[in-house]
């Protein structure tokens, strides 16, 4: 028996050797993550507010007035996180002119995976015929896509990957209490994806691509938005719980801070932003963010009215829609922001 064994549940501490010589680090990292293509998938079945009102004590008028939501897509049993994510990723890869051989990494943001493992990303990797590279899932609730963009950006900038599929795929319909009118009316299912590729570098400078991502979390606020169980707790399969007023209060303040942080870090101002592509939780939160940036509503991409809140899928779905219909054009500056359970929040600035 080794007397250095740490007590159960406590990992022995370790520390990275101090004084890592700065001269070994590259002086400049000119490579950027460029957006090559996007894609999305929405379940076949649409559920309107009136359908919910037929079996719950709610109304279309209440839901529209408080949230801006008119309908949501709800997944059939075969429309799993893996299936929807694969559909979205396949479209993103094709739109970006890529093939399976161009994908070095897949990052899936999801709170509703089909299995504890293999990771959703690895299942999607197989379905897309990708036989190289690596994939993993990331859990940051509704901020998942922004987090995944941040990780993809780091992989590309450091040269660990040159082609990365970033996917948000969610089936919140499976973790909702369908008797709880204060939560079940707010969410929907779907998947969105972006294919990022390394650009610039080798002296070829570019002002396009991901300019920055800023990520934050605060576990002290974990209980205002949570799913109170998962596979690690057999006594609780987990259902979504939310203090809506508290979430609302933190959402506007924290996302506004993350937006200011992104603009300041890039020496930009509100007037430089062409498009706001926000997390789609609630039209009132989106409107508040648009007003704060001084952006007219025509410059804010909104899908919450038709998709409801699809958590980590909401931003890539909105981005894919606005790129596909030509609203967002090459060269334009897109600001993305999100807040979700954790709390987690963050922002990303992208020149398309």
Binding residue for ligand ACO (CB under 6 A) from 40, 150, 200, 341?
Answer: 341
Query: Is 309 annotated in the active site?
Result: yes
- Mask for 272-311, x = binds ligand ACO (CB under 6 A): ---------xx--------------------------x-x
Here the tokens at position 271 are 């007037």
Here the tokens at position 69 are 């939501």
Q: Are strands 134-138 and 344-351 parallel, antiparallel or unpaired?
A: unpaired
Q: How far is the CB of 144 from ligand ACO (least distance, A)?
A: 10
Which part of the chain contacts ligand ACO (CB under 6 A), choosing from 33-41, 86-94, 130-138, 244-252? 244-252
Task: For residue 244, state whether it binds ligand ACO (rule: CB under 6 A).
Answer: yes
Residue whose CB is less far from ligand ACO, 58 or 266: 58
Query: Is 142 annotated in the active site?
Result: yes
Task: Kindly state the number of chain residues that form the binding site for ligand ACO, as judged by CB under 6 A.
Answer: 24
Closest among 308, 286, 90 to 188, alpha carbons compared: 308
Residue whose CB is less far from ligand ACO, 285 or 352: 285
Residue with tokens 């899908």: 303
Distance between CA atoms of 300 and 305, rounded to whole angstroms?
A: 13
Task: For residue 245, state whether it binds ligand ACO (rule: CB under 6 A).
Answer: yes
In the region spanning residues 201 to 230, those forming contacts with ligand ACO, defined by CB under 6 A, are 225
Which residues fall within 8 angstroms of residue 338, CB to CB, at 6 or more apart?
A: 142, 143, 145, 146, 255, 278, 279, 314, 315, 344, 345, 346, 347
Residue whose CB is less far from ligand ACO, 217 or 282: 282
Here the tokens at position 223 are 């209980």
Distance between CA atoms of 21 and 25, rounded to whole angstroms?
A: 8
Distance between CA atoms of 128 and 68, rounded to whole angstroms?
A: 36
Query: Is 184 annotated in the active site?
Result: no
Here the tokens at position 14 are 């370790």
Which residues fall within 8 angstroms of residue 293, CB to CB, at 6 or more apart?
A: 259, 270, 273, 276, 335
In the region spanning residues 56 to 95, those forming contacts with ligand ACO, defined by CB under 6 A, are 58, 62-63, 66-67
Which part of the chain contacts ligand ACO (CB under 6 A), choosing from 29-37, 200-208, 238-246, 297-305? 238-246
Selecting among 49, 73, 142, 184, the annotated active-site residue is 142
The burial class, CB within 10 Å (0-12 / 13-18 / 19+), for 288 is: middle
Task: For residue 55, state whether it binds ligand ACO (rule: CB under 6 A).
Answer: no
3-state secondary structure of 214: strand
Residue whose CB is less far from ligand ACO, 105 or 335: 335
Distance between CA atoms of 298 and 276, rounded to whole angstroms?
A: 10
The dihedrals phi and psi of 297, each to the nearest 5 degrees, come to -60, -25
Which part of the chain contacts ligand ACO (CB under 6 A), choosing from 9-17, 94-102, 182-190, 296-304? 182-190
In the region spanning residues 29 to 48, those forming contacts with ligand ACO, defined by CB under 6 A, are none
Residues that bind ligand ACO (CB under 6 A): 58, 62-63, 66-67, 141-142, 181-182, 185-186, 225, 242, 244-245, 247-248, 281-282, 309, 311, 339-341
Q: Which residues are catalytic?
A: 142, 279, 309
């Amino acid at each position: 028996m080794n007397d250095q064994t740490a007590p159960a549940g406590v990992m022995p501490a370790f520390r990275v050797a101090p004084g890592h010589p700065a001269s070994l680090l590259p002086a400049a990292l000119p490579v950027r993550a460029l957006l090559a293509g996007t894609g999305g998938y929405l379940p076949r079945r649409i559920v309107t507010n009136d359908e919910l009102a037929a079996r719950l004590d709610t109304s279309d008028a209440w839901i529209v007035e408080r949230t801006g939501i008119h309908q949501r897509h709800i997944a059939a049993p075969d429309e799993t996180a893996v299936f929807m994510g694969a559909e979205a990723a396949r479209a993103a890869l094709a739109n970006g002119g890529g093939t399976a051989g161009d994908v070095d990494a897949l990052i899936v943001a999801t709170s509703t995976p089909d299995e504890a493992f293999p990771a959703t990303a690895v299942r999607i990797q197989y379905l897309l015929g990708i036989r190289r590279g690596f994939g993993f899932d990331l859990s940051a609730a509704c901020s998942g896509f922004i987090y995944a963009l941040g990780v993809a950006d780091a992989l590309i900038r450091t040269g660990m990957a040159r082609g990365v599929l970033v996917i948000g795929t969610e089936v919140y319909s499976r973790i909702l209490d369908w008797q709880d009118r204060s939560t079940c009316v707010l969410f929907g299912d779907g998947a969105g994806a972006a294919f990022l590729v390394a650009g610039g570098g080798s002296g070829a400078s570019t002002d396009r691509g991901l300019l920055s991502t800023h990520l934050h979390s605060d576990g002290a606020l974990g209980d205002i938005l949570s799913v109170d169980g998962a596979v690690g707790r057999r006594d609780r399969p987990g259902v979504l719980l939310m203090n809506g007023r508290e979430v609302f209060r933190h959402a506007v303040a924290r996302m506004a801070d993350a937006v200011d942080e992104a603009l300041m870090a890039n020496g930009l101002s509100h007037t430089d932003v062409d498009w706001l592509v926000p997390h789609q939780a609630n039209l009132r939160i989106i409107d508040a963010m648009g007003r704060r940036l001084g952006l007219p509503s025509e410059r804010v991409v909104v899908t919450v009215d038709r998709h409801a809140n699809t958590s980590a899928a909401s931003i890539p779905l909105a981005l894919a829609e606005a790129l596909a219909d030509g609203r967002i054009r090459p060269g334009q500056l897109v600001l993305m922001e999100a807040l979700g359970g954790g709390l987690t929040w963050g922002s990303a600035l992208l020149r398309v």
